[in-house]
Amino acid sequence: MKADLIATRQAIRAGTSHPLAVAEACLSVAQSPVCAHTFMQLTPEALQHAALEPQVAQSPLAGLAVSIKDLFDVHGQITQAGSVVLKNQAPARADSVAVARLRAAGAGLIGRTHMVEFAFSGVGTNPHYGTPAAWDGLYDRAVGAPGQPHVPGGSSSGAAVSVATGAAFIGLGSDTGGSIRVPAALNGIVGFKSTARRVPTQGAYPLSISLDTVCAMTRSVRDTILAHEVMSARQVPRGQRPLADYRLAVVRSLMQDGMDPVVTQTFERSLKTLRSAGARIDEISLSELNELAPMMNTGGFSPAEGFAWHRERIERENERYDPRVLQRLMRGSSMKAHEYMDLVQARQSWIARVEAALVGYDAVLSPTTPITAPTIGQVAPGAERDAEFFRVNGLLLRNTRAVNTLDGCGISLPCHAPGELPVGLMAWHAAMHDDTILQLALLLEPLLQSH
């Protein structure tokens, strides 16, 4: 396990490491083959400048490397959102709110990371700029030999790989249907989706104004809390409750449908480990989850709101879009105004009923994704692989998307053993339960790493 940000910051403050030396090590990884297709743009000068600031060691982020998803405005840089459509846009005139807060906290900006075009997929492929390989998919840990590269998950693909490989300590990204938690799960790192209203979205290219959430991936839960505190401009209280004081739930319906054998084995082993440590876990029937597909039968928020953003551009230059992204955006073109309003009202009613059903529980535990990452070759760009791509995309996003629809919060924690493909365990709840989820995650993390 690579040292996390807080451990590295402690070493800097103790005088056993220096921010510039850490910066050079991160840049070395970022420029190596393990980070192929991970960065749209590297900014070594910005990282080195932050590392040399006189008081940087005392700042919360200590000048350490933070990567920025190509969705966020950074002053003087072009925000392309993983597309060729926006490559000739004017550079941003100011930092997005999230970037400004990270910079003010002492972040060293190492560069812009690859992403799915316009953030509209959970798989992580991009036909324009290439697809980074999931870190644990690059090598067969069991035999120490190169293996078939696996998809990194999306849409924050490069952000996840930058953290997993050691190029960055924090990967700034976004989560509209799972775009933080899915790549975190497939790369064996931590990804936290906060309640959407916690962090302003100003300066981030939008997909869905109803669902977009600004959040990050890290190497540890304590780093996740630090990143969330910086971006949300609030303190997370540190809890003293033992694990046995939390009341946890497991839902079999939807969340565990169609799980592959690896995820099933890993998830059940994780529940057994937690129960052995004193966790109280009830199996509950949350039948409301089965209403999600019928509720979204007209397309859902992301296609409708995404198409509204892209309508005029699609009319001018649709041939420049990723065909798979374009296909999903065009699903929103046929939604009528009354259907959209019905969807808004149906969601509000659904949220109220799910919140009522979860009263008395501190969190629900589910697999982050029901399947492990397929190889890049299985879903690479190409019409002959479209059917498999859309099947995989639906499965990867299914569980996480339920939490976004709930306007909730959730964290993905790695729960696989060494030598296994990464699997994530997601702890989640409704809106504004962020602090409880983070406090619980601090307790779960060492237990899940122990098996």
Annotation marks residue 2 as catalytic: no
355-368 per-position pLDDT tens digit: 999 999 999 999 99
What pLDDT band is residue 143 in, cutting at 50, 70 and 90?
Answer: very low
CATH of 243-449, one of 3.30.930.20, 3.90.1300.10, 3.40.50.1820, 2.60.40.10: 3.90.1300.10
First to last CA, the chain: 14
pLDDT interval class at 146 (50, 70, 90): low
The whole-angstrom separation of Cα 267 and Cα 259 is 10
Distance CA 422, CA 182 (A): 11
Above 60 in pLDDT, residue 139?
Answer: no
| Sign of the C-alpha dihedral computed for residues 428, 215, 449 and 371 taken in this order | positive
In 15-132, alpha helices (H): 19-30, 44-51, 97-104
Kindly report, as residue ranges, where domains of CATH 3.90.1300.10 are found in the chain: 5-232, 243-449
| 67-115 confidence digits (pLDDT tens) | 999 999 999 999 999 999 999 999 999 999 999 999 999 999 999 999 9
pLDDT, tens only, 253-285 = 899 999 999 999 999 999 999 999 999 999 999
Mean pLDDT of the region 151-156: 97
Q: How far is CA 302 from the centre of its chain?
A: 17
Place of tokens 């931590």: 190
Please write the tens of the pLDDT for every residue from 240-252: 899 999 999 999 8
Superfamily of domain 5-232: Amidase signature (AS) domain (3.90.1300.10)
Of these residues, 67, 155, 210, 366, which one is catalytic?
155
Q: Is 155 a catalytic residue?
A: yes
Q: Which of the following is catalytic: 17, 67, 69, 174?
A: 69
Active site residue 276: no
With 50 as the cut, is the pLDDT of residue 334 above it? yes
Residue whose entry in the numeric block shows the structure tokens 């964290």: 411
Backbone CA torsion sign across 59, 64, 69, 72: positive
Rounded mean pLDDT of the chain?
Answer: 96
Q: Which of 156, 179, 220, 412 is catalytic?
A: 179
What is the C-alpha separation between 128 and 116, in angstroms, rounded? 10
188 with 165: CB under 8 angstroms?
Answer: no
Write down the pLDDT at residue 419: 84
Over range 21-27, report the average pLDDT.
98
Measured in degrees and rounded to the nearest 5, phi and psi for residue 428 equal: -145, 165
pLDDT score for 451: 66
Report residue 299's pLDDT band, with 50, 70 and 90 as the boundaries. confident
- Retrieve residue 194's tokens: 């906060």
Closest CA to 166 of 187, 186, 180: 187
pLDDT at 138 over 70: no
- E-strand ranges in 136-254 read 139-140, 145-146, 170-174, 190-193, 214-218, 247-251
